[in-house]
Structure 1
């Protein structure tokens, strides 16, 4: 395995781990008076503020407004890959079981592979398909979708919409890099678009919350507490800025097909976190499903490009 590939895979694993941790931290906020739309608005707005500060200190060129095709790409990434992705997921989560909502959203790796094969004309080989199929089957078992699954039409549409937006985030991020934009510039302007969109729906200045109030960490950590503002800061910095950033940077080292396959670790890790933190039961079938997801990802990541300089060719 080349050094670039190792760096890319390590970055995606780090990003997925931070997203997993954020699923537990976000639950604290959601159970203490912050609803899903409000949390999304706070999340993207706070991340934008942090990004602008980082750019002003370390990369002022990132604050320059992109032009032409670059502006279209970052606008699409912010609207679809950040704002609409989270909206679709929350709609699906509200109308379906958590397991089914996750399973639908994590069809994204298949969509990315299909895009690579039929639009980008990349050579997508059998190992990637087998790995993705094994991971999806494992995810279905890990989340036990047959337990209380509800096939609400709007919820299912939103779930598939989330998968499309999730795939769009990685494909548009890859296209932004190819268009010459830095990772910081992509994130600054992508989150700027998402911030405008979310504040039109749920303005952060209208959120009524006692940010200094001490809140329990819940579950097995119920005996511990932190101020609400610390929890929200973690959601912004460790649950959004860092993971979105490292997964975007990973696209400089490995193709979007592989990034999205490895990202399937997130729902499996979230299930494990729920067991460890919130004492949520994991059946033997769910545990086997988790192993199947990891096996599928390992198989998918063995797929190699036909040319070392080709960012999308996977065999």
Structure 2
């Protein structure tokens, strides 16, 4: 039977600090995909083509490293084959494809808001399925982050299409699976190996969707405008694959194992803040005062969640066995 380690016991304070650094690297790496993709779209690349090439290049880059990290322990792959397939299908392919489908029916802001409700879904899942009840301070951080997210995405005057909302919920489920599987401590798989397997599966599934016409593809060899200059199309694709897929997924797995699913998911909200700042720096899209205020609230919420989780871990580490038995899930 699969197990999800209690977030309270995932890591020491040192491990949590390292996990938070990895989570920041992962969030910034993921957020870079927005400005890079926007430049590709301006040269007639379709969203489907950008997503497929990004994941495929990431798989090609990470796979050799994942194989080296495995060190010939193929029994780990056989034992966790189903998990790797689920990770690639939900955490990679479904998240990407469902979000792409959602923005065909609705605006980007509400689609992102629905997708980024994944951290709250993770909290509810761990509470109901595994008995990991969040502390009050964690719930306070969740509330702060939720308000900040609404402000960052600036949803004034937008409408929600039911079909788009359904697709965005699919992206939320995929993102939730990503955070939950990242935090699994019982697989024995190195983070690089899990990331490589997920990217390979995800690339294969996205390629199949493209082959049957569900993921429209169009591309161009024109130079890509970025930060007031241009870059060759192949250089932008290399950055998309290496940084926004390869680095993002591998550091995401490593962060999840140190922070746990709950804290790791909320650290992932830093991607939204980083995306706004990178759009400002690379595309000249100046954020509004409301968005900046929202970014501060998201950061405050993430910090509150991290501090609450760390405090709970320290309390349980010094508690008596009887007290720990009362606080931890059966």
**TM-score, normalisation: structure 1:** 0.88
Q: CA deviation at 1:284?
A: 2.0
Q: CA deviation at 1:118?
A: 1.1
Identify the range of structure 1 (262-271 vs 77-86) with the bigger mean alpha-carbon deviation: 262-271
Q: CA deviation at 1:282?
A: 2.5
2:198 to 183, 190, 197: 190
Aligned to 2:177: 168
In 1: Cα distance, 2:171 partner to 2:317 partner: 31
2:107 to 63, 74, 97: 97
| Unmatched runs of 5 consecutive residues or more in structure 1 | none
Contact 1:55 1:63 in 2 (8 A): no
In 2: Cα distance, 1:236 partner to 1:63 partner: 26
Aligned to 1:47: 58
Q: Deviations over 1:49-103 (max 9, x none)?
A: 11222235554437777224x1111111100110000111112222222211111
3-state SS, counterpart of residue 231 of structure 2 = strand
Aligned length: 303
Q: CA deviation at 1:234?
A: 0.2
1:66 to 52, 58, 77: 77
**TM-score, normalisation: structure 2:** 0.84
CA RMSD of aligned residues (A): 2.5
Q: CA deviation at 1:162?
A: 1.1
1:143 to 148, 153, 168: 153
State whether structure 2 residue 115 is matched by structure 1 residue 110: no
Q: Pairwise mapping of residues 200-279 of structure 1 onto structure 2 (< 5 A)?
A: 200-203=208-211, 209-211=219-221, 213-217=222-226, 221-222=227-228, 224-279=229-284
**Structure 1 120/150 Cα, relative in aligned 2: closer, same or farther at 3 Å?**
same
In 2: Cα distance, 1:3 partner to 1:144 partner: 36
State whether structure 2 residue 50 is matched by structure 1 residue 35: no
| Unmatched runs of 5 consecutive residues or more in structure 2 | 1-11, 319-323
In 1: Cα distance, 2:89 partner to 2:105 partner: 22
Contact 1:103 1:136 in 2 (8 A): no
